[in-house]
Amino acid sequence: SLIGLQVVRENLVFSLKERIESDTLVLEDHASRSLDTVTARLESLIPITNEDALRVQALSTEFLRQIVFEDRIIRSLSLVDPSGKVVASSTADNLGVTLPKDFLPGPVSQGGMNTVQYGRVYPFRDLYQVGTTSPSNESNRFWVTSLAVKVGQADYQWVAAVNLSLFSMGRLYRDWE
């Protein structure tokens, strides 16, 4: 009957609205926790970023790899000097890469020291692929996140390559369960 179909339709619409609201809450919670983790990781590097650490190579690939070990949110942590060259990284392939001038979210003067900034999304897995002509597949995109720090008188930036594939709804539900 027409009334029965209308009741079924109303119930389906109500269920769909509830599902969308639930999905939105899950995504918002996941995104908030993930970005808090990225911020905490970057801020934890401030006290150990100094001229002595660079001189004695204390910020080795192995040391930085341990900081992001089993971290599915951050693919790599890299320290970029004022010329745009990666001078320390948790990913060996990133070492020595010179990033394009417009790569980072903005000049240090816009965000200030020790302020996390979020930049663009790149169709690559990590920094070492930036500038190549062959982007990765869709699941390997990363989001540039940076934190400006002073090393002596120079402005350096810590850069985190944030793994965007963790923000897909299918992935969220697998991780949530």
CB 53, CB 59: distance < 8 Å: yes
CB 95, CB 89: distance < 8 Å: yes
Pairing of strands 116-122, 86-89: unpaired
Note the pLDDT of residue 90: 95
The whole-number mean pLDDT for each consecutive block of 10 residues of the chain, a chain of 177 residues, reads 80 81 67 79 90 86 89 90 94 94 71 78 88 68 89 91 74 46
Collapsing DSSP to helix, strand or coil, 164 comes out as helix
Residue 36 tokens, joined: 């808090």
Note the pLDDT of residue 109: 52
- From 117, 152, 149, 145, select the one nearest 45 (Cα to Cα): 149
CB 80, CB 95: distance < 8 Å: no
Reported pTM? 0.77
Note the pLDDT of residue 134: 66
Note the pLDDT of residue 91: 94
Note the pLDDT of residue 82: 92
- From 44, 92, 89, 90, select the one nearest 66 (Cα to Cα): 90
Q: Say which residues have a Cβ less than 8 Å from residue 26's Cβ, sequence separation at least 6.
A: 172, 173, 176
Note the pLDDT of residue 172: 46
Collapsing DSSP to helix, strand or coil, 89 comes out as strand
